[in-house]
Amino acid sequence: MARRFAGGRLVIASHNPGKVREIRDLLAPFGIAVSGAAELGLSEPDETGDTFRANAELKARAAAQAAALPALADDSGLVVPALGGRPGIYSARWAGPTKDFAVAMAEVERALAALGPGADRRAEFVAVLSLAWPDGHVESFEGRVAGRLEWPPTGDKGFGYDPMFLPAGYELTFGEMEPAEKHAISHRARAFKQLVAACFG
């Protein structure tokens, strides 16, 4: 049985403005007072885990202990089978020190191009949401969405690799979709639905 969230305040354990905004939007219907880690001056822990789940739990526990409040962390990324699963847990690092995802998308495209014109362009976004309490207890939930990679990137909505990711069954990339449409089908939204059912419902 998952632990229920009973408090009125929650920390989003991320310094990524796009991620904080997306999670804040998902939490909006629950009337929870939400603060981002940067707003509270929390430092970013080193992501030393070797899975999305390990890194999400590490970030959630660190923020919960530092803020003495429940904390929700996300670890997510783009998984490309043709590239051996890369960039995977290193998705943000491919954007370099300036976190420029135009650079990251170009790097992914270069790696695919090196495989030749018949390269498998299937990909999936993976997200793990971990909700931790100051006592160290944590609940984690995973969501995935399948699609393919388009080039050149299109759309200026979303963040990260969204402009090059075309979800299966849709004609718009995540970068072209309105936030409400993306929130209905995204990897993060799928993980969030599990979180809500287990801890908020």
User: What are the tokens at 98?
Assistant: 């300036």
Catalytic residue among 25, 74, 75, 120: 75
Instruction: Answer for the pair 7, 34: CB distance below 8 angstroms, yes or no.
Output: no
How many CB atoms sit inside 10 A of residue 106's CB? Answer: 16
In order of 112, 146, 198, the CA distances from 83 in angstroms are 7, 15, 34
Instruction: Answer for the pair 125, 147: CB distance below 8 angstroms, yes or no.
Output: yes
| Length of the chain in terms of residues written | 201
Known catalytic residue: 156?
Answer: no
Find the radius of gyration of the CA atoms of the chain.
17
Burial 165-184 (b: 16+ CB within 10 A, else e): bbbeeeeebbbbbeeeebee
Residue with tokens 């993060």: 188
What residues are annotated to the active site? 75
